[in-house]
């Protein structure tokens, strides 16, 4: 089992700043819910349509380009980050030390390994950041992983409704996953994020080039600017986060077992005394719920 990074210096820095107010901390309204729902559904349509076309021998970069074309063809001009595609062991991030190692590469897809597709289009100002796991042929490690993740999906709204802090939620999920025999892969993300806030952004109707440096090289100029303008670190759900829970969150538990990595990412709505998923008709629930007892 690989060493888990969990709480690093970046996350500890974020804990100091996460106490400050963010403009994204507000009670969700119906207009925003509808806007996020439209963005999220287009994002899921993108990954499920591209999934139908995928074949053995495809590369991650090839898949990413097709997702970009799909989104552009459906009117998307801006995004939080460019699409990601991770095949097989690449979805586990073992031993990664540089941000660029997370980027899609030339790895070839095989029929029996799992893959993750992750896109974040901005639709009419709303960020639809989602993640989806699948495979060309039946993959038992993936099936077991998604079975567990759907059980976790049922628990997450209850965690956010409870008196638990966001920091405690991160560590509860970490503990539960390990007790069930899974590796915590989101602990290996930059800042060890379990999720991040999403919000309506105010952007021009044209795209800027990518920022050609380190971790920012896969994020749009618009997305980077918006995160910074919202005080970026309070927006990230890290193992040291101390901010408020109210608002819209893109929650993305990413786990692994054996040579397989798997995740889901979708929007959670958190109100004062209630938390719930924005939409229950999402592809990973439809695809894997039959395995849930």
96-101, long-range: CB < 8 A, 24+ apart: 96/188, 98/214, 99/190, 99/214, 99/215, 99/217, 100/214, 100/217
pLDDT at 106: 92
Q: What is the DSSP string of 11-57?
A: HHHHHHHTTS--TT-S---HHHHHHHHHHHHHHHHHHHHHHHH--TT
E strands present in 109-197: 114-119, 121-123, 126-127, 130-135, 183-184, 195-197
Chain segment 227-237, per-residue pLDDT in tens: 545 444 458 89
Q: 218, 103 in Cβ contact below 8 A?
A: yes
Q: Is residue 2 part of a domain?
A: no
Q: What percent of the chain clears pLDDT 70, i.e. is strictly above it?
A: 77
| CATH number, domain containing residue 118 | 3.90.230.10
The answer to whether residue 269 sits within a structural domain is yes
Q: Is 4 a member of any domain?
A: no
Look at the chain and report how many structural domains it folds into: 1
Residue 255 has pLDDT above 50, yes or no: yes
Query: Is 127 within a domain?
Result: yes
Q: Which string of DSSP letters, residue by residue, matches 177-226?
A: HHHTT-EESGGGSGGG-SEEE--B----SSPPPP--SGGGGGB-HHHHHH
**Is 172 inside any structural domain?**
yes
On whether residue 3 sits in a domain, the answer given is no
Taking only the tens place, the pLDDT of each residue in 174-229 is 999 999 999 999 999 878 999 999 988 876 555 555 544 444 444 555 555 555 45
109: confidence class by pLDDT, cuts 50, 70, 90: very high
pLDDT bucket at 98, cuts 50 / 70 / 90: low
Residue 160: CA count within 13 A, CB half-sphere:
25
The token pair that represents 134 in the structure block? 């699948």
Can you tell me the distance from the alpha carbon of 87 to that of 55, in angstroms, rounded to the nearest whole number? 12
Per the CB < 8 A criterion, the answer to whether 233 and 14 are in contact is yes
So what's the pLDDT on residue 17?
47
Phi/psi of residue 204, nearest 5 degrees = -70, 165
Backbone angles phi, psi at 46, to 5 degrees: -60, -55
The per-residue pLDDT of the chain, averaged, comes to 84
Q: Which residue has tokens 């695809």?
A: 287
Boundaries of domain holding 69: 9-291
Distance linking the first and last C-alpha atoms of the chain = 28
Tell me the CB-side half-sphere exposure of residue 210, using CA atoms within 13 A.
12
* DSSP bridge partners of 135: 114
The model's pTM is 0.85
Q: Residue 81: its pLDDT value, please?
A: 84
Q: Which tens digits make up the pLDDT trace of 112-164?
A: 999 999 999 999 999 999 999 999 999 999 999 999 999 999 999 999 999 99
Q: Identify whether 220 is part of a domain.
A: yes
Instruction: Answer whether residue 1 is part of any domain.
Output: no
CB 198 within 8 A of CB 206: no
CB 262 within 8 A of CB 250: no
């Amino acid at each position: 089992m690989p060493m888990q990074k969990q709480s690093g210096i970046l996350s500890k820095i974020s804990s100091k700043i996460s106490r400050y107010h963010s403009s994204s901390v507000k009670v969700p309204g119906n207009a925003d819910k509808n806007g996020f729902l439209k963005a999220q559904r287009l994002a899921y349509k993108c990954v499920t349509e591209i999934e139908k076309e995928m074949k053995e021998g495809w590369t991650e970069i090839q898949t990413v380009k097709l997702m970009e074309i799909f989104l552009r063809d459906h009117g998307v001009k801006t995004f939080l980050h460019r699409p990601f595609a991770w095949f097989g062991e690449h979805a586990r991030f073992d031993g990664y030390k540089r941000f660029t190692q997370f980027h899609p590469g030339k790895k070839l897809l095989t029929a029996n390994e799992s893959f993750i597709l992750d896109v974040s289009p901005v639709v009419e100002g709303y960020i639809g950041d989602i993640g989806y796991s699948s495979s060309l042929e039946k993959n038992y490690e993936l099936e077991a992983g998604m079975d567990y993740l759907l059980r976790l999906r049922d628990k997450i709204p209850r965690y956010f409704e409870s008196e638990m802090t966001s920091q405690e939620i991160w560590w509860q999920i970490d503990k539960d996953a390990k007790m069930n025999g899974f590796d915590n892969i989101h602990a290996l993300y930059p800042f060890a994020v379990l999720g991040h806030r999403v919000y309506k952004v105010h952007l021009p109707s044209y795209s800027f080039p990518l920022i050609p440096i380190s971790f920012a090289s896969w994020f749009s100029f618009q997305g980077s600017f918006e995160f910074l303008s919202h005080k970026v670190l309070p927006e990230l759900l890290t193992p040291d986060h101390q901010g408020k829970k109210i608002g819209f969150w893109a929650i993305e538990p990413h786990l692994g077992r054996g040579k397989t990595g798997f995740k889901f990412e979708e929007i959670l709505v958190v109100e004062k005394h209630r938390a719930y998923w924005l939409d229950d008709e999402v592809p990973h629930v439809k695809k894997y719920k039959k395995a849930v007892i």
